[in-house]
């Protein structure tokens, strides 16, 4: 166990410069004592699971708070240690995150009825909205759980795999961690569709093999060309994930014809700057002609909704075979692998004046001045606002909802178009009855203002007020507000 922890520490030292190693050691000792003697169904000790979880968080270069919370994430649920003890020892930030991870764990995403399912997803988003690090830890936790899923009873395997495919993989995608999305899907695939998985795996194997050899050949050619032009780049092949291959094979226009899939193994080229991306694109097209109509997708000029950036081009490669080439900077690559965490890390490093060379190596100390919290607030707003995100979760019902905060940080969800009066009655009838004004993010707004996700809403009270105003019924949208307002006027 000690050696496993040493391995984790050295990873943290090299990837998360500026991490507080002593606190991480304390968290490890604390967890080790609390979980002493506990084993998982796989036979591994619980500590191994915690170290694996923390190790993924370190890969994402997250901060000390995240890694500490990662080591402690199962304590409240599985030991007699309390949240208070965690707060006393590691501070309230860690406690809030551990509490969030525990809460999400308690939400069962298996409602039989679609409605119940949506309700549970909504609860999950509410927990997440407090601190995005909660969901990053949950993803790391889920990833390791999926790797050891075969030790669980059959029924549990199916439920967890389904949840992973329908909730956690789309979440990872939305957070821009494309790599994790693909890995989670591939881990869930055999549990949910065993026959299809077996078929795709064996049927595609020789094609993968062929494609790899072919990409190696293309790689040698383009490397020579780039060297001639003085372009410094790293190249490698990347294999398509199986689950995503299966989906593509099932599309009507592909109709299980694997020779129509050109990115089975893609050639990936990493360079230092955006300028170099376009220079490399020029070199690629000089030696291999782009496929008409299928040609180039420039996700640098027009990034995908989740922030993904790269240039993809399909070309007639060596021997006239079609091949996909993906060109991106090291920074874009980091982002695609590590999602929002890398985003944050890069922004910090750049503003701290870290050199391009260091950036390309991906090793640098974060600047303390820019806080996690600031970045997270921005991301939280985006995550609750985004229709794309909800669409990815397949729950349109949620796109008709907004999420707002009380001054104390409690989250309330309301229908789109909700006003401060709707908010007030949702919080408490008395708050609605006495509402006289409203501040949103500190600024005064009219009572018929339409609230937006992520806003902090504060209701100003008039203690002498006895009843709501009749006019309010012209603009409120919630049942509760309507009912409460009507109550006062039906009586008289």
- Note the residues at the interface with Mn ion (CB under 5 A): 74, 141
Question: Which residue of the set 6, 33, 77, 229 is catalytic?
Answer: 77
Q: Which is nearer to Mn ion, 160 or 325 (CB)?
A: 160
Q: Which is nearer to Mn ion, 141 or 276 (CB)?
A: 141
* Whether 348 contacts 370, CB under 8 Å: yes
Q: 364 vs 76, 332, 339, CA distance in Å?
A: 34, 16, 17
Question: Which residue of the set 29, 78, 356, 410 is catalytic?
Answer: 78
User: Closest separation between CB of residue 78 and Mn ion, Å?
Assistant: 8
Dist CA 179 CA 269 (whole Å): 17
* Whether 76 contacts 98, CB under 8 Å: yes
Dist CA 142 CA 130 (whole Å): 20
Dist CA 186 CA 165 (whole Å): 9
Helix (H, G, I), strand (E, B) or coil at 444: strand
Q: Specify whether 131 is catalytic.
A: no
Strand partners, 266: 238
**Pick from 76, 60, 69: which is nearest to 91 by CA?**
69
Q: Which is nearer to Mn ion, 141 or 324 (CB)?
A: 141
Q: Specify whether 356 is catalytic.
A: no
Sign, CA torsion 78/79/84/88:
negative
Q: Which is nearer to Mn ion, 90 or 346 (CB)?
A: 90
Helix (H, G, I), strand (E, B) or coil at 478: coil
User: Closest separation between CB of residue 96 and Mn ion, Å?
Assistant: 18
* Whether 228 contacts 244, CB under 8 Å: no
Q: Which is nearer to Mn ion, 63 or 74 (CB)?
A: 74
Q: Which residue's CB atom is positioned nearest to Mn ion? A: 141
Q: Which is nearer to Mn ion, 133 or 333 (CB)?
A: 133
User: Closest separation between CB of residue 116 and Mn ion, Å?
Assistant: 24
User: Closest separation between CB of residue 15 and Mn ion, Å?
Assistant: 22
* Whether 269 contacts 235, CB under 8 Å: yes
Per-residue tokens: 192: 């949910």
Q: How many CB atoms lie within 10 A of CB 473?
A: 15
User: Closest separation between CB of residue 427 and Mn ion, Å?
Assistant: 34
* Whether 82 contacts 71, CB under 8 Å: no
User: Closest separation between CB of residue 344 and Mn ion, Å?
Assistant: 24
Q: Which is nearer to Mn ion, 47 or 476 (CB)?
A: 47
Helix (H, G, I), strand (E, B) or coil at 324: strand
Helix (H, G, I), strand (E, B) or coil at 466: coil
Helix (H, G, I), strand (E, B) or coil at 21: helix
User: Closest separation between CB of residue 106 and Mn ion, Å?
Assistant: 13
Please identify every residue annotated as catalytic.
Answer: 77-78
């Amino acid at each position: 166990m000690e050696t496993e922890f040493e391995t984790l520490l050295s990873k943290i030292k090299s990837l998360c410069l500026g991490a507080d190693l002593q606190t991480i050691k304390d968290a490890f000792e604390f967890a080790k004592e609390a979980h002493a003697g506990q084993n998982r169904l796989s036979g591994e000790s619980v500590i191994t699971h915690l170290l694996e979880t923390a190790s993924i968080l370190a890969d994402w270069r997250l901060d000390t708070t995240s890694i500490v919370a990662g080591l402690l994430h199962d304590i409240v649920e599985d030991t007699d240690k309390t949240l208070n003890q965690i707060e006393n020892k590691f501070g309230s930030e860690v406690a809030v995150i551990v509490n969030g991870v525990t809460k999400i764990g308690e939400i069962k995403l298996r409602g039989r009825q679609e409605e119940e399912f949506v309700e549970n997803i909504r609860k999950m988003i509410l927990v997440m909205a407090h601190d995005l690090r909660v969901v990053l830890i949950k993803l790391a936790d889920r990833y390791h759980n999926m790797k050891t899923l075969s030790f669980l009873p059959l029924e549990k395997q199916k439920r967890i795999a389904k949840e992973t495919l329908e909730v956690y993989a789309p979440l990872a995608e939305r957070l821009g961690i494309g790599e994790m999305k693909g890995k989670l899907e591939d881990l869930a695939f055999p549990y949910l569709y065993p026959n299809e998985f077996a078929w795709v795996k064996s049927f595609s194997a020789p094609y993968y093999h062929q494609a790899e050899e072919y990409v190696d050949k293309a790689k040698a050619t383009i490397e020579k060309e780039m060297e001639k032009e003085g372009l410094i780049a790293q190249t490698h092949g990347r294999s398509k994930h199986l689950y995503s291959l299966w989906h593509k094979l099932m599309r009507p226009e592909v109709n299980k014809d694997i020779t129509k899939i050109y990115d089975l193994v893609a050639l990936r080229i990493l360079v230092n700057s955006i300028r170099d991306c376009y220079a490399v694109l020029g070199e690629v097209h000089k030696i291999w002609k782009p496929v008409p109509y299928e040609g180039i997708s420039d996700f640098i000029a027009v990034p995908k909704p989740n922030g993904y950036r790269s240039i993809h081009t399909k070309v007639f490669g060596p021997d006239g075979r079609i091949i996909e080439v993906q060109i991106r900077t090291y920074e874009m690559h980091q982002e695609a692998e590590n999602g929002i965490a890398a985003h944050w890390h890069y922004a910090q490093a750049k503003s701290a004046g870290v050199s391009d060379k260091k950036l390309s190596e991906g090793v640098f100390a974060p600047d303390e001045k820019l806080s996690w919290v600031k970045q997270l607030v921005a991301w939280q707003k985006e995550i609750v606002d985004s229709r794309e995100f909800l669409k990815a979760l397949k729950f349109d019902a949620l796109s008709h909802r907004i999420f707002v905060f009380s001054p104390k940080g409690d989250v309330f969800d309301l229908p789109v178009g909700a006003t401060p009066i709707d908010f007030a009655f949702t919080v408490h009838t008395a708050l609605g009855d006495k509402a006289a004004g409203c501040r949103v993010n500190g600024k005064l707004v009219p009572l018929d203002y339409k609230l937006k996700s992520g806003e902090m809403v504060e209701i100003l009270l008039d203690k002498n007020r006895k009843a709501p105003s009749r006019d309010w019924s012209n603009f409120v949208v919630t049942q509760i507000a309507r009912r409460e307002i009507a109550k006062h006027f039906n009586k008289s």
